[in-house]
């Protein structure tokens, strides 16, 4: 027999076997679906029976509470019998499971149209599995096939015929289960003690010390007699489990009966939280009825116990809980004013309204008022007259006017008003409720000015955030425009990135608008602030108008070239604005410290005047006024010290009197001033006014020394000849290094320009030849893809071919424009697309029939895709070779010159090393000089070393970048030297913020610490170690 005939017959047999298996699987699924409801019904009846057993036991215990023993035994037998019968029923059910023939007959009985077809089909399937049959094999196979298909059609895709059979009615079993357990739940709610006794029997045990624990008492009646002040009536709780829920101080009476006869003595053992020992309360017993009472004062539990005639001890198995609710304190809600802190003037009358509630009764309501910082015992107290409490003692609403004029308040004084209410708790109280504090702060121009400075600080932070956003999202590369200015220009891929850059520009410009609006709000406050000088307002307004112009100029832009230029202007404006506004804030904060110190001196003078008057008059009222002035003085001193601690951390070192900081630390000064203040108070109480005056004079010595440097800003200093000589030597060495570096940078730029011109000529012919070859290959590629796309393959493959053809078209445009960078990327994408299409077509051939026109066309399309993919590889390889040749040509054009420049750069590096050694030597005598100059010198040396390394690696452009960075640092070094000499000769304390150079981190740094670095280091004026690209751009900003 031919091989193809055997294969055909084998395939036919496999198809028949599949039909036989389908019939058997269908009947098995039907059997499982029919048996599942039966199992569910059995479980429901089991649970219904179990519930009935429990119901019977609970009812018996309710009727015969003293016979708990045999009731519990009956429950045990009933539950065990239920489980036994359930297990037998389950075993018989699973053992007598239907076979497939029985399932077939059941289906036939419910669907008459099948007659005996299903049973016959099963029999035929069994017979056909053998080698010989006594009837026509073809007819039997046809019957099996027909019956199987009919049954599958009837199953409606569910592969089960259970729905064709009569459904099993589960409703009786469901309702029986719900009814049984519902009744049991009702009994639990109606008689929880019976249920608790029933199940506590299961917990019967004997403790280690021989005490038996078992149900001892029956249902309990509780009588709760609440404290008299609550006004609540007696609470009777009948037939309960005995758990107590009441108020603290409630008298609890417990009544019950004994379940065990002939017991001699009963006791109630009370365990309270926090108590070391248990309380034993005697239980009265009469005719089997028991009663006991106790006062519930704490959470805990209680348990009954009794003694037998033989002296044995039996404890009740149930431990009953005591949960007590304390009497809540009165609640006071201040409804007016709603603010926690109110700004007032010394002549104001403040309206205060409040609402007081209590669970049982309010006894009194009063208020206190005190100057912040004084002894709470000295607080003035006033009780309110509230007649409405006599008719409604549980709540009251009231209001009053507080006149501040008699308090003789001064600016910055703080008065704290607090409301109190006492309740009528005569047992554990009275409880005192307290309202929130009402803080009345006397308005001070200085406080308003400090808040305004905080808002300006927030503006600076917002500007730094916006600058960081611009640096994190560059709109192009930075190029030198003119002599000393760098601007952003669109990069080669700006068209491809337009969809990303345009929304980002509008987002950043929107943030600029928000910044301008915030500055406008602050400026309006500055106009009405008496402590803001006109010059500061003008500076702030000019910055606001500058940013407003930047926002308006960037609003209509949609050209990437203009957007890149606008981003450069925004970065420059923000960077200069941050430095300018930060310097402005620094100056204002210095002035605030001086003003605070001056206010303390004025308070000291007033206190001195009052002390002298008191020495002459001994007036008690004057003594109280002196105490108030001392409290004000203490408060102002605390404010000043806190402000100076935070401010001196931000001030440059030249703004602080170094001699004062060396001889006395901040904490020491604060302690000395506090000690002096206490001495004044003690001496005043003792009547030693002269001693108090003397201590008062000593109190401000530390303050005078600490602020001396600030107040003497601008004072002159003596010139140091040795210092001048050393500085002149260092400056000469720096100029020599700078001249060498300038010459190297000039030669490097000229060499690069010449190399670029030569490379452009040589690469032009290479690019023209490569363009012709590439266009020929692309034309062949387009033809191949067009042929493959016309073939009658699946639509999915034609769509992939269309995408591949689109990429080839874009590749052709890039090659025609000689934009080989973009062409290389498009060639890579085209290769990947064709490789995927080639794989998909190959897989399609494996899993579809090899016969027919469609299979042949798919195979031809697959061969064409293989050809197209190979051609795409060649195109990609040719473009890569062209780019590599351009790089090699660039390296060869300036190879000799770069070697020569590398030698010159090494010589300059050696000179810079000698300059570093000279600075190290000078720093031994002048440490501050080294601290000021070292960062710029080290940054210049680092850039020079990287320039030398780049020349050795053939990277001319990178070397030029490092050379320019080194020149910037050398120029900054010379500027720092000039400033150091000027400070030495003139004692200058200020900083030239407008000309100070700041390095900005590179735009490539996108991690979470970038923004924090910008904010931290811009304030410290030491942004070091960031990339060369951004450094080149910012070299023009601050000159």
Q: What is the pLDDT of residues 845-862, one digit of tens each?
A: 666 666 667 777 777 877
Tokens read off for 808: 């080839």
Using an 8 Å Cβ cutoff, are 219 and 200 in contact? no
In this prediction, residue 1032 carries a pLDDT of 42
Give residue 432's pLDDT.
92
Whether residue 997 has pLDDT greater than 50: no
Averaged pLDDT for residues 284-308: 90
Greater pLDDT, 336 or 751: 336
| Ramachandran category for residue 529: left, alpha or beta (phi over 0 → left; psi -120 to 50 → alpha) | beta
- pLDDT tens digit string along 371-407? 876 767 777 888 999 998 888 889 999 999 999 888 8
Could you report the per-residue pLDDT of 757-781, keeping only the tens digit for each? 666 566 566 667 777 777 888 888 7
Task: Please state, rounded to an integer, the average pLDDT across all residues of the chain.
Answer: 75
Name residues whose C-beta falls within 8 Å of residue 244's C-beta, 6 or more positions apart in sequence.
222, 224, 252, 296, 302, 320, 321, 322, 323, 324
DSSP string, 762-796: HHHHHHHHHHHHHHHHHHHHHHHHHHHHTS---HH
Give every CB contact of residue 197 below 8 A, 6+ residues apart in sequence: 61, 65, 68, 215, 218, 259, 318
Report helix, strand and coil shares of the chain as percent, to nearest 5.
65, 15, 20
At residue 301, the pLDDT reads 95
**Mean pLDDT within 614-633:** 71
Pairing of strands 313-316, 212-214: parallel
What is the pLDDT, as a whole number, of residue 517? 93
983-1009: average pLDDT: 43
The mean pLDDT of 330-355, rounded to a whole number, is 91
Amino acid 448: pLDDT: 81
Q: Which of 229, 291, 216 is nearest to 256 (CA)?
A: 291
Lowest mean pLDDT among 186-195, 525-534, 671-680: 186-195
Which string of DSSP letters, residue by residue, matches 372-441?
TTS-GGG-EEEE---GGGGT-TTEEEEEEEEE-GGG---TT-EEEEEEEEEE---SS---EEEPPPEEEE
Say if residue 652's pLDDT is above 70: no
Residue 1023's pLDDT band, with cuts at 50, 70 and 90, is: very low
Mean per-residue pLDDT, 178-203: 64
- Predicted confidence (pLDDT) at residue 1005 exceeds the cutoff of 70: no
Token pair for 817: 């424009």
Question: Binning pLDDT at 50, 70 and 90, where does residue 222 land?
Answer: very high
pLDDT for 128 beyond 90: no
Q: Residue 291 has what pLDDT?
A: 93
Q: Which residue has the higher pLDDT, 656 or 869?
A: 869
Q: How many CB atoms neighbour CB 363 within 10 A?
A: 19
pLDDT greater than 80 at residue 1034: no
Residue 141 has pLDDT above 80, yes or no: no
What is the mean pLDDT of the segment spanning 632-646? 64
When pLDDT is averaged across residues 268-282 and rounded to a whole number, the result is 90
Structure tokens at 1012: 């924090």
pLDDT at position 962 is 86
pLDDT value of position 196: 56
Among 351-355, 375-379, 701-705, 963-967, the range scoring the smallest mean pLDDT is 701-705
DSSP state of 30: H
Is pLDDT above 70 for 490? no
pLDDT band at 1 (very low <50, low <70, confident <90, very high): very low
pLDDT at 500 over 50: yes
Alpha-carbon distances, residue 179 vs 48, 78, 176, 744, 1012 (angstroms): 8, 19, 5, 101, 69
pLDDT > 90 in the chain, percent: 12
Which is more confidently placed, 690 or 403? Answer: 403
What is the average per-residue pLDDT within 586-610? 72
Residue burial 952-962, b: 16+ Cβ < 10 Å; e: rest: eebbbebbbbb
> Rounded to an integer, what distance in angstroms lies between the CA atom of residue 644 and that of residue 638?
10
Reported confidence tier of residue 152, pLDDT bands at 50, 70, 90 = confident
pLDDT of 600 above 60: yes
**What pLDDT, on a 0 to 100 scale, did the predictor assign at position 1028?**
45
Q: Residue 743: CB partners within 8 Å, gap ≥ 6?
A: 904
Q: Determine the pLDDT at residue 642.
A: 63
More confident: 986 or 958: 958
Q: Residue 243 — pLDDT band, cuts 50, 70, 90? A: very high
Task: Of 575, 574, 557, give the one whose Cα is nearest residue 566.
Answer: 557
Q: Are strands 362-371 and 485-489 parallel, antiparallel or unpaired?
A: unpaired
For the segment 323-351, the average pLDDT, to the nearest whole number, is: 90
In whole angstroms, give the CA distance from residue 343 to residue 324: 44
Residue 1008 has a pLDDT of 43
- The predicted structure's pLDDT at residue 1001: 42
pLDDT in tens, 429-481: 788 999 999 999 887 777 788 888 889 889 999 999 998 888 888 777 666 66
Question: Is residue 17 predicted with pLDDT exceeding 90?
Answer: no
Residue 1004's pLDDT is: 40
Cis check for the bond before 586: say yes or no (omega within 30 of 0): no
Per-residue pLDDT, averaged over 212-231, amounts to 87
Greater confidence (271 vs 61) lies with 271
């Amino acid at each position: 027999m031919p091989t193809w005939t055997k294969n055909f017959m084998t395939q036919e047999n496999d198809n028949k076997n599949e039909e036989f298996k389908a019939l058997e699987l269908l009947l098995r699924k039907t059997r499982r679906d029919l048996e599942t409801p039966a199992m569910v019904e059995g479980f429901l009846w089991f649970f219904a029976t179990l519930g009935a057993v429990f119901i019977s036991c609970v009812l018996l215990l309710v009727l015969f509470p003293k016979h708990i023993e045999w009731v519990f035994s009956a429950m045990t037998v009933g539950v065990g019998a239920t489980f036994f019968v359930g297990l037998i029923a389950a075993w018989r059910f699973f053992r007598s499971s239907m076979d497939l023939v029985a399932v077939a007959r059941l289906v036939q009985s419910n669907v008459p149209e099948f007659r005996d077809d299903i049973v016959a089909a099963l029999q035929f399937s069994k017979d056909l599995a053998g080698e010989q049959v006594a009837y026509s094999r073809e007819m039997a196979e046809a019957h099996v096939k027909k019956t199987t298909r009919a049954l599958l059609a009837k199953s409606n895709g569910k592969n089960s015929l259970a729905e064709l059979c009569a459904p099993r009615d589960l409703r009786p079993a469901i309702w029986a289960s719900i009814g049984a357990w519902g009744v049991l739940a009702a009994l639990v709610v109606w008689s929880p003690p019976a249920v608790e006794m029933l199940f506590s029997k299961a917990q019967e045990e004997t403790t280690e010390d021989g005490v038996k624990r078992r149900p001892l008492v029956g249902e309990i009646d509780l009588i709760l007699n609440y404290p008299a002040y609550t006004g609540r009536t007696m609470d009777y709780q009948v037939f309960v489990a005995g758990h107590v829920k009441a108020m603290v101080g409630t008298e609890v009476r417990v009544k019950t009966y004994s379940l065990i006869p002939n017991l001699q003595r009963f006791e109630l053992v009370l365990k309270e939280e926090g108590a070391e020992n248990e309380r034993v309360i005697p239980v009265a017993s009469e005719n089997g009825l028991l009663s006991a009472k106790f006062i519930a004062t704490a959470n805990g539990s209680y348990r009954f116990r009794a003694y037998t005639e033989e002296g044995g001890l039996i404890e009740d198995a149930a431990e009953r809980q005591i949960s007590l609710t304390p009497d809540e304190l009165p609640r006071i809600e201040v409804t007016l004013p709603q603010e926690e802190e109110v700004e007032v003037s010394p002549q104001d009358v403040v309206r205060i309204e409040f609402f007081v509630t209590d669970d049982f009764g309010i006894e009194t309501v009063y208020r206190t008022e005190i100057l912040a910082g004084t002894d709470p015992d000295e607080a003035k107290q006033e009780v309110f007259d509230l007649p409405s409490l006599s008719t409604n003692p549980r709540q009251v609403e009231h209001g009053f006017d507080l006149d501040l004029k008699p308090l003789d308040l001064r600016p910055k004084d703080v008065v704290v008003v607090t409301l109190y209410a006492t309740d009528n708790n005569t047992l554990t109280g009275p409880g005192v409720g307290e309202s929130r504090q009402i803080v009345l702060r006397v308005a001070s121009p200085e406080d308003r000015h400090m808040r305004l400075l905080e808002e300006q600080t927030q503006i600076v932070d917002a500007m730094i955030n916006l600058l960081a956003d611009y640096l994190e999202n560059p709109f192009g590369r930075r190029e030198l425009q003119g002599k000393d200015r760098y601007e952003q220009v669109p990069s080669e891929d700006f068209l491809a990135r337009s969809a990303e850059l345009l929304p980002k520009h509008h987002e950043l410009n929107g943030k600029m608008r928000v910044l301008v609006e915030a500055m406008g709000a602050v400026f309006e406050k500055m106009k009405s602030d008496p402590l803001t000088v006109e010059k500061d307002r003008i500076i702030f307004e000019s910055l606001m108008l500058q940013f407003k112009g930047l926002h308006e100029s960037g609003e209509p832009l949609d050209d990437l070239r203009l957007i890149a230029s606008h981003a450069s202007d925004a970065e420059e404006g923000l960077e200069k604005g941050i430095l300018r506004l930060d310097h402005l804030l620094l100056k204002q904060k210095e002035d605030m410290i001086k003003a605070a110190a001056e206010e303390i001196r004025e308070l000291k003078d007033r206190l001195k005047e009052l002390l002298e008057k008191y020495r002459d008059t001994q007036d008690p009222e004057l003594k109280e006024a002196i105490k108030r002035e001392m409290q004000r003085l203490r408060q102002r001193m605390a404010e000043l010290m806190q402000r100076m601690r935070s401010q001196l951390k931000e001030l440059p070192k030249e703004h602080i009197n170094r001699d004062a900081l060396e001889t006395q630390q901040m904490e020491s000064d604060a302690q000395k001033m506090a000690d002096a203040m206490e001495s004044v108070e003690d001496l005043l109480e003792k009547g030693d006014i002269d001693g108090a005056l003397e201590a008062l004079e000593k109190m401000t010595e530390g303050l005078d020394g600490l602020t001396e440097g600030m107040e003497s800003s601008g004072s002159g200093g003596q010139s140091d000849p040795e210092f001048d000589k050393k500085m002149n030597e260092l400056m000469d060495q720096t100029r020599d290094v700078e001249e060498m570096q300038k010459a190297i940078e000039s030669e490097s730029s000229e060499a690069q320009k010449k190399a670029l011109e030569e490379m452009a000529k040589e690469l032009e012919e290479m690019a023209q030849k490569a363009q012709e070859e590439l266009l020929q290959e692309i034309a062949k590629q387009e033809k191949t893809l067009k042929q493959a796309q016309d073939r009658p393959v699946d639509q999915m493959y034609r769509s992939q071919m269309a995408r591949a053809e689109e990429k080839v078209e874009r590749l052709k445009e890039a090659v025609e424009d000689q934009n080989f960078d973009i062409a290389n990327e498009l060639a890579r994408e085209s290769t990947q697309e064709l490789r995927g299409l080639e794989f998909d077509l190959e897989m399609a051939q494996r899993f579809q029939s090899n016969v027919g026109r469609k299979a042949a066309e798919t195979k031809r399309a697959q061969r064409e895709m293989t050809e197209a993919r190979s051609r795409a590889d060649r195109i990609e390889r040719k473009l890569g070779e062209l780019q590599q040749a351009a790089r090699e040509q660039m390296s060869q054009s300036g190879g000799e010159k770069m070697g020569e420049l590398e030698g010159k750069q090494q010589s300059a590096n050696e000179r810079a090393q000698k300059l570093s050694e000279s600075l190290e030597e000078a720093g031994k005598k002048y440490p501050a000089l080294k601290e000021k100059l070292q960062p710029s010198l080290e940054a210049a040396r680092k850039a020079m070393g990287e320039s030398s390394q780049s020349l050795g690696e053939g990277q001319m452009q990178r070397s030029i970048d490092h050379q320019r960075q080194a020149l910037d640092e050398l120029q900054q070094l010379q500027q720092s030297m000039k400033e150091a000499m000027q400070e030495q000769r003139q004692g200058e304390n200020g900083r030239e913020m407008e000309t100070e150079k700041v390095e900005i981190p590179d735009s490539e740094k996108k991690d979470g610490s970038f923004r924090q670095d910008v904010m931290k280091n811009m304030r410290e004026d030491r942004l070091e170690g960031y990339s060369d690209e951004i450094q080149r751009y910012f070299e023009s900003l601050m000159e």
